Structure formats: structure tokens, C-alpha cells
A and B are shown apart, each in its own frame.
Chain A
Amino acid sequence: MSLSNATDDEKKSRFGLRTLLDTSRLLIESHDVDFVLNNLLLISMGKLMVNRAAILWFHPKKNTYSVLKSKGRHTLSAEVTIRRDLFKKQSTALCAEHQELDHVCKHGFEMLIAIQNSERHFGFLALGPKMDGTEPGSEEIEVLESLVFMSGIAISNSELVSELRATNRKLDYKIQELFTLFDLSKSFNASIDREEIKRIFKFTLLGQLFVRRFFLIIQRRGEPHLVSQNGLGTTPDRQQMQDLFAVERNIVMVDDDIRKKHPFLEQVQIHLLLKLNSDGQEPAVIGLGKRANGVDFEQTDLNFLISLGNLALMSIQKTYLLEDQIEKERMEEELSIARSIQKRLFPDNTPEVPNLQIAATNIPSYQVGGDYYDLIRDDDQNLTMAIADVTGKGVPASLLMANLQSVLHVLQPFDISLVDATGQINSLIYQNTPSDKFISFFWARFFHHNRTLRFVNAGHNPPLLFRKGSEPRKLSDGGILLGAMPTLMPYKEMVVQLQKDDIIVMYTDGVTEAMNSEEEEFDEPRLISCVESRMDQLPEEIMEDIISEVTTYCDNHFTDDLTLIVCKVC
């Protein structure tokens, strides 16, 4: 049956059905409240031929209605209340039949249709009079009610959909954040380059959180360091940075109170402070400006920021630790090189000379030390023996010791007296060292043909000369420490006539100042009695015994280098 054969009424009702069908399709597909309402207005206006229509939207909190959307001319602008009980039995009310609706109808409307589903009331569709002046027929109202009912369903659907969309978006955002953190931890872990870490940190703040203005201050060895910043325009000074670590909470919104305490925060427009304390590590403070998109920081953003900050902080601290480690290893390597150089400065073996048996050793307590001894035999088979102790320990002491060693060896080939040589060495050491560095120095030359010993003692623990039947003699004459002052007076040289079986013990304070658990020193008397009871032994044996007695005495806790030369006339 075609349209042209049908009666007008049939055509009309068919068009009505067509409208309902089209509308239901539209509404099912649409998830846009605005579109649904616009469509409801237009369809009902077209369908009923009314030239004004409005959606009165319900505000549950105030229990009032206001015009959310309208077409055509009407005068309703204020919020109104509408008695819902009028719509209990049917969803349509005609103004002509209900005086209670006059306050709405007088603005140009003829009927109200409630927009609702089983769970919720959304509001009303208000329609003006039909333009042809007729009353709306019951069939027309029926179609309208169906339209309104479908729209109600579509509205709750679309609200549900937008809720789901919002939830989905939040979830997506969360996932994105997690991915970002995951990516970051990977990049941070992979990087030992601090610049790279700072760059990642910066671009994450910019890209994920739209924060253009920020700073990251890390404390390192108690000092604040501005590790990274962007858009501040100025750099806070040390005190300003240090003060930030006094903030009490981990998350601080910068308010007037905080601004008063830290005025520069206002100057650089920082609005949020995050204090990070990772376990046992030094803390850091992140300052953040407002976000470029104008959105406030939410709790989830703060969580993200703290995670990001901790990741960056740990990574940066890792790079510091790594540097420290490298530095330490480098220094240890250098020290061991220094030690091996120093070892070579000591005599390789004990030279053999007529009429004298010699034993000597050096036991360093540090990797490199400041003790020194030397045994140099000249072309005439005479022997120069030297023992010295440089103040201080470690590399500086060993440098000075090396200096002394080289001077001694340079002077050795020249026929120069101990007195002149000592004077020259003193001048040189004095010129080359800071005023708080000295060397206690003893040296002696043994002439084998007449068994005489010439010596100069420049402030060193006096070596001991043991002779059977007499008290040990201290070889203390000479002059002051090397390097303390220029050579104003010549050093004094002494000559000793030695006898067969005389024993000379030269030592550094590592021997006599070794301490037991009561902090008592080993001291000279113990050394003397140790030697006196072994006058018949070989120098090597005497030396070993002294070392073992000292070692036992201090329970192997040497705090200083220990150097010994023992020789016996024969």
C-alpha cells in the first residue's frame, strides 16, 4: 500500500510510527545528552506544529526546575517549582486542566510532559500551543509521550556512558602514568649519566604534568645542590635552599605562611613543595609551579610526583655513589702505585761491608708511610746509614720522604762531609715544604778500616749504642729537625770509636710509641732490655725479636710505621 492510496489519518499515524522508529534508532545510537534534548525539542515541535518548546531541567538539591534548552519564544527565565504529584498517574499535564501549573504556563506553554525513567526524574518537556489553534489529540500525546520516554532512557544511557568514559579516561590516565613510571625507572636505571637523568626528569614534568617551572634540590654531604631547574629566571642562594629542608610535611602547598618564611618562592612562582626522604639517604626538595593547563594538582598527581621524584633522587644519588666509588678506587689504585714506588726507594738488600753486620726493615702501617731508611755503600766499602721519620702520614709524607731519598742519593757520590750535606739537605727541605712539615733524621757513616762512626742527628730519636759492660749510649748530637728553619748554624758531627761486638740500634717512634691496650707506650727501657739480653745474637735475630716483642705488646695494633736498623761491629 502506497502513501497516496491511504487516508490522511492512516498517513498521519504511519508518519507518527516512522518518527518513533527513526527517533528510537537515533537515541539508541546517541550518547550525547545535548543532542538527545535538541532532537526531542525539534521533533515535538515539528510533530505537533508548536513554535515554542523548552526542556525544564530538574535540580534535585533545590527541588526546582530551570530552562536547560529551548526553541522559539518564551518568557520563562527564573527557576520554578513544579508539583510532581500531578504527574503520578500520567506523564502529561495540560495547562488548561491544571491551575497549579499557571506559573509555568503563563510564560507561553500549553502542556508539560515528564521526562523520566523508572529510576530517575530528569525534568519536563514544555510545549507551546499548536500553531493551527487546535488542541493536541490523544494520539499525538501518545506519540509525544513515547518520544519523551525514549529520550529519558537515552539520557540515562548517555549519562552512564559519559560516566564510564570518565572512569575509562581516569583508568587510561592511571595506566599511562604507570607506563611513564615504568619507562622512567628503566631509563633511570639504565643511565649513569646525571645529565641524562635530569633531562628525563624535566621532560616528564613538562610532558606528563605540564609543569614548566620547577626546581630539584638535593642535599649532598649536608650541602644543598640545585640539581635541576626550569623557568625560574633566577637561582636561589645556598641559605634559601637550605631553609627549604626545614619544611615539616612532605607535601606543602605554598600559602601565605610559607611565602612569608621563604619569600623567594613567590618570586619564582613556586606553588607546591615536595620533600623526599628516601631510606637513609640525604633528602631532596622539589618545587613546582602551576600547571600550564591550569588544572590543580590532584592526589593522584602528587603520588605520581613523589614516585617520579624518588626515582630521580635515587638515580641521581646512585650516580654520586658511583662517582665516589670510582674516585675511591682511583685513589686506592694510586696509593698502591705510590706504595710500590716507595718500596723501591728502600734498599733492595742489605749491602755487605767489612767489619759490620747489618739488618734493617720497614713495616708500614698505612699503604704509604713517612718512615725512611737507607744503606749506601761507597766505592771504598764504607757505609752510609740513614733513618728518618716524616711528620704526618699518607701521600704527603711519602712525597717528602721520596724527596729526602733523592737528595741523599744525589749527594752521595760527592766527597762532602756529613755536616755540609745535612745543612744542604735542611735548606732544600725547608724551601720545599710547608712550615708544618718536618723530618727527623739521623745518619751515620761507618769507616771499616778503623771502625769509626761519624754521625749527625737532626732531631731523630737517638739511636742506641750498646757495649758489653756499659750503659747504652744515646747518639743524639747534631742539630734541629730538617725543614724547620733555614740552616743558620752548621750541624754538629760526632765521631765514635767502635769496638768489636758493639751493637747500634736505629729506630723510628713506631717502635717505642707502640701502645698496649692500657695505652702505655712500649718505650725506650723495654727496647734497651730487649737488646741487652741478646748481645750475643746476630743483628738479624735481634731485629726479629724486637719486632716480635713490639707486636705482642701492642697486640698487632700498629698505629705508625715501624723502621729498624740493627748493626753489630765485627
Chain B
Amino acid sequence: MSKFEIRKRSKSEVTILDIYGELDAHTAPILEKELQQLIENKFVHIVVNGSGLEYISSAGLGVFMAYIEDIRSQDGDIKISSLKPKVFNVFDLLGFPTLYDIVENEEKAVDRFK
């Protein structure tokens, strides 16, 4: 079984990525690939639902950094929702909340695009 998994959904204009498992150097390319595809197809309103995310490493955080500029230049954004406290701590620790919308639940995240 893979350590990391992504499921993709749509809600109105927003693409929702449910991510599960551990996002680290090994699994980061899976998320990278997904984001690249979305950017290519101009689906730049993205919510990453992290309710299933168990662990994130620096490399995993790097993925969010690597594509944000492309997405924002197309008037899009990545909103992050539903993080487990343990995982949120890591985002928080490194100061991600100042740069990203990190919210409690998916609904709020989707609302931020309105």
C-alpha cells in the first residue's frame, strides 16, 4: 500500500484534493505531478483537504512553495484545510499561515474563493 494518496473532487469552480498518508521526499513527486497538471489545465482554484494527512516533512512543505507563484499569477490560490493538529503545528512552526490560507474545514476554504 502506498504511503501517500490523492483523491480529486470538484466543488463548483474549485478543485479539491483530498490527501492521505505521509507527504515526504518520496511521496512529494505525486503531489507535484498533480499540481502541475492542474496548472496546465488552468484549474487554479485549489483546496487541499489535509484531514487524512498524517505527516509532512520539509520536502512536503516545499511542494506548496514550488507552485504557489504560478498559481497565484493566474489568479488562483491553494487553500489548505482540515489539518490534524500535529500536522498543522509543522505548518505553523515554519510560518506558513502568514503566506497561505489555512482553515479548519473544507467549506470555509471553498468559501474563500468567493
Taking a contact as CB atoms under 8 Å apart, the answer to whether A72 and B25 are in contact is: no
B13 at the interface (CB under 8 A from A): no
Using a CB-CB cutoff of 8 Å, which residues 1-50 of chain B contact chain A?
A: 24-26, 28-29
Using a CB-CB cutoff of 8 Å, which residues 71-101 of chain A contact chain B?
A: 71-73
Give A147's nearest chain B residue, CB to CB. B58
Set of chain B residues within 8 Å of A131, measured between Cβ atoms = 65, 99
A8 at the interface (CB under 8 A from B): yes
Taking a contact as CB atoms under 8 Å apart, the answer to whether B59 and A42 are in contact is: yes
B61 at the interface (CB under 8 A from A): yes
Taking a contact as CB atoms under 8 Å apart, the answer to whether B94 and A15 are in contact is: yes
Taking a contact as CB atoms under 8 Å apart, the answer to whether B65 and A51 are in contact is: yes
Most A Cβ at <10 Å: residue of B65, B90, B94:
B65
B68-96 CB contact bits vs A (8 Å, 1 = yes)?
11100100000000000000011001111
Set of chain A residues within 8 Å of B66, measured between Cβ atoms = 41-42, 45, 51, 53, 71-72
Cα distance, A132 to B65, chains bound together (Å): 12
A119 at the interface (CB under 8 A from B): no
Taking a contact as CB atoms under 8 Å apart, the answer to whether B68 and A49 are in contact is: no
A200 at the interface (CB under 8 A from B): no
Taking a contact as CB atoms under 8 Å apart, the answer to whether A49 and B29 are in contact is: no
Q: What distance in Å separates the Cβ of B24 from its nearest Cβ neighbour in chain A?
A: 7
Set of chain A residues within 8 Å of B68, measured between Cβ atoms = 51, 72
Count B-side interface residues using an 8 Å CB cutoff. 28
Q: What distance in Å separates the Cβ of B21 from its nearest Cβ neighbour in chain A?
A: 16
Set of chain A residues within 8 Å of B99, measured between Cβ atoms = 49, 131-132
Cα distance, A39 to B99, chains bound together (Å): 22
A22-B24, A52-B69 known; A132 vs B98 contact (CB < 8 Å)? yes
A3-B89, A19-B57, A49-B99 known; A42 vs B62 contact (CB < 8 Å)? yes
B63 at the interface (CB under 8 A from A): yes
A12-B93, A15-B90, A26-B25 known; A72 vs B65 contact (CB < 8 Å)? yes
Taking a contact as CB atoms under 8 Å apart, the answer to whether A49 and B96 are in contact is: yes
Taking a contact as CB atoms under 8 Å apart, the answer to whether A39 and B25 are in contact is: yes
A3-32 CB contact bits vs B (8 Å, 1 = yes)?
100001001100100010011001000000
Taking a contact as CB atoms under 8 Å apart, the answer to whether B93 and A15 are in contact is: yes
Taking a contact as CB atoms under 8 Å apart, the answer to whether A47 and B94 are in contact is: yes
Most A Cβ at <10 Å: residue of B25, B60, B61, B68:
B25
Consensus secondary structure, chain B interface: helix
Taking a contact as CB atoms under 8 Å apart, the answer to whether B25 and A46 are in contact is: no
Set of chain B residues within 8 Å of A258, measured between Cβ atoms = none
Cα distance, A35 to B27, chains bound together (Å): 11
Q: What distance in Å separates the Cβ of B47 from its nearest Cβ neighbour in chain A?
A: 19
Give A130's nearest chain B residue, CB to CB. B95
A39-B25, A132-B98 known; A45 vs B65 contact (CB < 8 Å)? yes
Set of chain B residues within 8 Å of A8, measured between Cβ atoms = 93
Give B89's nearest chain A residue, CB to CB. A3
Cα distance, A115 to B28, chains bound together (Å): 22
Set of chain B residues within 8 Å of A125, measured between Cβ atoms = none
Set of chain A residues within 8 Å of B63, measured between Cβ atoms = 42, 46
Taking a contact as CB atoms under 8 Å apart, the answer to whether A43 and B58 are in contact is: yes
A176 at the interface (CB under 8 A from B): no
Cα distance, A75 to B61, chains bound together (Å): 23
Set of chain B residues within 8 Å of A26, measured between Cβ atoms = 25-26
Cα distance, A42 to B73, chains bound together (Å): 20
Q: What distance in Å separates the Cβ of A503 from its nearest Cβ neighbour in chain B?
A: 118
Set of chain B residues within 8 Å of A72, measured between Cβ atoms = 65-70
Set of chain A residues within 8 Å of B67, measured between Cβ atoms = 71-72
Cα distance, A50 to B99, chains bound together (Å): 11
Q: Determine which of B25, B29, B70 lies in contact with A73 in the assembled complex, contact meaning CB atoms within 8 Å.
A: B70
Most A Cβ at <10 Å: residue of B62, B94, B96:
B62
Set of chain A residues within 8 Å of B95, measured between Cβ atoms = 49, 132
Give A16's nearest chain B residue, CB to CB. B58
A23-B25, A51-B68, A132-B99 known; A71 vs B62 contact (CB < 8 Å)? yes
A384 at the interface (CB under 8 A from B): no
Set of chain B residues within 8 Å of A3, measured between Cβ atoms = 89
Set of chain B residues within 8 Å of A47, measured between Cβ atoms = 58, 61-62, 94
Q: Determine which of A35, A45, A132 lies in contact with B62 in the assembled complex, contact meaning CB atoms within 8 Å.
A: A45
Taking a contact as CB atoms under 8 Å apart, the answer to whether B25 and A42 are in contact is: yes
Give A15's nearest chain B residue, CB to CB. B93
Set of chain B residues within 8 Å of A49, measured between Cβ atoms = 65, 94-96, 99
Taking a contact as CB atoms under 8 Å apart, the answer to whether B69 and A51 are in contact is: yes
Set of chain B residues within 8 Å of A39, measured between Cβ atoms = 25, 28, 59
A44 at the interface (CB under 8 A from B): yes
Cα distance, A52 to B67, chains bound together (Å): 9
Most A Cβ at <10 Å: residue of B26, B29, B63, B66:
B66
Q: What distance in Å separates the Cβ of B26 from its nearest Cβ neighbour in chain A?
A: 8
Cα distance, A39 to B66, chains bound together (Å): 12
A38 at the interface (CB under 8 A from B): yes
Cα distance, A187 to B68, chains bound together (Å): 65
Most B Cβ at <10 Å: residue of A8, A15, A53:
A15
Give A12's nearest chain B residue, CB to CB. B93
Set of chain B residues within 8 Å of A42, measured between Cβ atoms = 25, 28, 58-63, 66
Set of chain A residues within 8 Å of B28, measured between Cβ atoms = 38-39, 42
Give A26's nearest chain B residue, CB to CB. B25
Taking a contact as CB atoms under 8 Å apart, the answer to whether A46 and B70 are in contact is: no
Taking a contact as CB atoms under 8 Å apart, the answer to whether A46 and B69 are in contact is: no
Taking a contact as CB atoms under 8 Å apart, the answer to whether A46 and B73 are in contact is: no
Most B Cβ at <10 Å: residue of A3, A22, A51, A53:
A51
Most A Cβ at <10 Å: residue of B57, B59, B63:
B59
B residues sitting closer than 8 Å to A (CB atoms) are: 24-26, 28-29, 57-70, 73, 89-90, 93-96, 98-99
Excluding A42-B63, A45-B65, A45-B66, 15 further A-B contacts by CB distance (< 8 Å) are A39-B28, A39-B59, A41-B62, A43-B57, A43-B59, A45-B62, A46-B63, A46-B64, A49-B65, A51-B66, A71-B67, A72-B66, A73-B73, A132-B98, A132-B99
Return 10 A-B CB contacts under 8 Å, by A number: A11-B93, A23-B25, A38-B25, A42-B60, A44-B58, A46-B59, A49-B96, A50-B65, A51-B66, A73-B73
